[in-house]
Amino acid sequence: MKTRQIERKRLVPHTVDGVTELVLDTEYIDVPEPPRDWDQLVRAAVTIGAVVLVTASLVWTTASIGDLLASVTLPVVAYAAAVAFDASWIMCMGVEWLLRYDPNRAKAAQRAGKWALAVSMAAVFAHGHAAGEWAIGVVGALVSGLAKGGWSMAMRVHARPLDPRTQQWVEARRAKVDGQLAMIPIRRDLQRGEHLIEAERQALTAESGSGGSADRPVPSGSSVDRKGLTTKDAVRIAWDSNIRDRDAVLHDAAQRLGRPVSPDSVDRYLRDLKRGA
């Protein structure tokens, strides 16, 4: 069994002239050396090889298609456009990797990657055919195919397939989290719209004078102590302020509480106030 030497330091008591102090002691011990992880080495080699293939394909395709397009446009523009051919299916592979635990969504990236690869290979073959070297066109087109195949194999090496039940669990959890994430911009957009409506209402009220504000006063929520204030209290305050319109009560109560209020609760409290009036 192979061993390797490691260094360990510890505090030990050391006495000089009857005085004991803790000093740092260094010792070297032999421990068994773990066996070489050949699987990890091969996995790393496959990944590096796939990256090399994709890089070579990108360079070759860009040079080939760029030379083809340079005959009808500026070389700088031609080579810049040529990058898009291999970059398209490379980007699709990146999306496929990110969605590896969501196979239903990854299918679209897989189909798009195959079409992008076909277009790229056809363009490289067209360059060879235009140059009168169809054999070179075929061989050059296969470079992109081999690169995508190599990267697909590397992705399979790193893949961790899920059983059907675990896949359903992941999809259910992801759906809940995605729904919560989707509600963030939705709530922000709704709040922005409410602020715009309120700003428009205040602007129109200021332009029309005080005639509209007497029937529907809109007190500022910032001057109200919201601590301990309930929805029922906010509705009663609006009622005492001669606000009878349901939408106006909803708006006034929301401003006083600093948060949206339940329309059902407001309706119930309004019915109680109307019966007691």
Residues 23 and 116 in one domain: no
Please indicate, yes or no, if residue 183 is contained in any of the structural domains.
no
Please indicate, yes or no, if residue 189 is contained in any of the structural domains.
no
**pLDDT tens-digit readout, 35-44:** 888 888 898 9
Residues 104 and 67 in one domain: yes
pLDDT of residue 277: 65
Residues 227 and 147 in one domain: no
How many domains does the chain fold into? 3
Last residue of a domain, one of 158, 181, 213: 158
Last residue of a domain, one of 128, 158, 188: 158
Lowest mean pLDDT of 57-61, 77-81, 208-212, 262-266, name the range.
208-212
**pLDDT tens-digit readout, 102-149:** 888 889 999 999 999 999 999 999 988 888 888 888 998 999 999 999
Residues 65 and 108 in one domain: yes
Describe the chain by its helix, strand, coil percentages, rounded to 5.
70, 10, 20
Residues 66 and 10 in one domain: no
Residues 8 and 70 in one domain: no
Residues 49 and 139 in one domain: yes
The Cα–Cα gap between 136 and 63 comes to 14
Centroid of chain to Cα 93: 17
> Which residues are paired to 32 by β-bridges?
3
Please indicate, yes or no, if residue 73 is contained in any of the structural domains.
yes
Higher per-residue confidence, 62 vs 220: 62
Containing structural domain, residue 237: 223-277
Please indicate, yes or no, if residue 213 is contained in any of the structural domains.
no
Query: Whose structure tokens read 């080699």?
Result: 45
Residues 145 and 49 in one domain: yes
Residues 16 and 66 in one domain: no
Q: b/e string for 5-36 if b means 16 or more Cβ within 10 A? A: eeeeeeeeeeeeeeeeeeeeeeeeeeeeeeee
List CB contacts of 78: < 8 A, sequence separation 6 or more.
66, 67, 68, 69, 70, 72
Residues 75 and 13 in one domain: no
Last residue of a domain, one of 103, 127, 158: 158
Mean pLDDT to the nearest integer, 189-194: 88
**pLDDT tens-digit readout, 141-160:** 999 999 999 988 988 888 88
What are the Cα distances from residue 81, in Å, to 54, 95, 115? 18, 21, 18
Please indicate, yes or no, if residue 59 is contained in any of the structural domains.
yes
Please indicate, yes or no, if residue 141 is contained in any of the structural domains.
yes
Please indicate, yes or no, if residue 181 is contained in any of the structural domains.
no
Residues 89 and 149 in one domain: yes
Please indicate, yes or no, if residue 174 is contained in any of the structural domains.
no
pLDDT at 79 over 60: yes
Residues 61 and 100 in one domain: yes
